[in-house]
Amino acid sequence: MFVIQYFIPHYPFNRMSHWFSDWFAIILACAIVLGALNLMKISIQKVIKKKPGWGYAVVIIVSFLLITVIGLSEGEAFREPGTWFDWLYVYVYTPCSSTMFAILGFFVASASYRAFRARNFEATLLLLAAFFVMIGRVPVGDIISGFMPEGVRLSNLASWIMTFPQTAGQRAIMIGIALGIVSTSLRVILGIERAHLAGE
């Protein structure tokens, strides 16, 4: 419907964007509640059956209940600085998020090592692009390419790679992700996909 409104700019199609935005907000609110209940159900089942990793499920349950009770008890003031919710967010959630991203850095490094081996033409292009972007983002890149004209220095090459080829590839990936979300959503709506309910 969001796409159709650009091709048929007449009533009722030109109003569907606003209508569907309201519907999405309502569905999103219900989905958050259902997602939270589903998370609790799966975590409690994991603890009761002592499945592998059930200790993490205990942490999920305790954390979820703690932040929910504190957030609801403080009402509208939970966003203000100095509240318990704010303290948990600043001193527990934020450091945990930073830790997760720091750990992800090692996974990205290992994945890059495996992906950037020049086994074929595409991997070689990826390796060269990554090299030029990384070396062009630091001052050493301009020092190395200082003898070149201003327009062909490594910093300008890195900017060109990030602006044109990278943007084109990113858009193609985003279109693929959008199509995947649509197909998965249809499978969930039609009852074909039951993995989120711990089914087959």
Give residue-wise pLDDT tens across range 64-88: 999 889 888 887 777 788 888 888 8
Determine the Cα–Cα distance for residues 174 and 182; give it in Å rounded to an integer. 12
Does a structural domain hold residue 58? yes
Of 75, 99, 131, which one is at a domain's C-terminal end? 75
In a domain, residue 190? The reply is no
The two structure tokens encoding residue 167: 């943007």
In a domain, 139, yes or no: no
Global confidence as pTM: 0.52
Site of tokens 């259902």: 34
Between residues 13 and 92, which one has the greater pLDDT?
92
Cβ atoms 193, 187 nearer than 8 A: yes
Residues 17 and 60 in one domain: yes
End of a domain among 45, 75, 105? 75
- Could you tell me the residue range of the domain that residue 107 belongs to? 80-115
Say whether both 69 and 88 belong to one domain: no
User: Has residue 197 been placed in a domain?
Assistant: no
- Least trusted range by pLDDT, from 14-23, 51-60, 111-120: 111-120
Residues 21 and 53 in one domain: yes
**Could you write out the DSSP letters of every residue in 15-28?**
GHHHHHHHHHHHHH
What pLDDT was estimated at residue 104?
Answer: 83
**28 with 68, same domain?**
yes
SS3 content of the chain, % helix, strand, coil (to 5): 80, 0, 20
Residue, of 95 and 124, whose pLDDT is higher = 95
pLDDT, mean over the chain: 84
> Both 67 and 12 in a single domain?
yes
The answer to whether residues 42 and 103 belong to one domain is: no
Residue 37 placed within a domain: yes
Q: How many domains does the chain have?
A: 2
Query: In this structure, is residue 161 part of a structural domain?
Result: no
Residue 68 resides in a domain? yes
In a domain, 94, yes or no: yes
> Same domain for 64 and 110?
no
Q: What is the sign of the dihedral through the CA atoms of 189, 194, 195 and 197?
A: positive
The residue from 75, 107, 129 where one domain ends is 75
Give yes or no: residues 9 and 32 share one domain: yes
Same domain, yes or no, for 38 and 87? no
The mean per-residue pLDDT over the stretch 105-118 comes to 73
So what's the pLDDT on residue 198? Answer: 63
Task: State whether 44 and 91 are in the same domain.
Answer: no
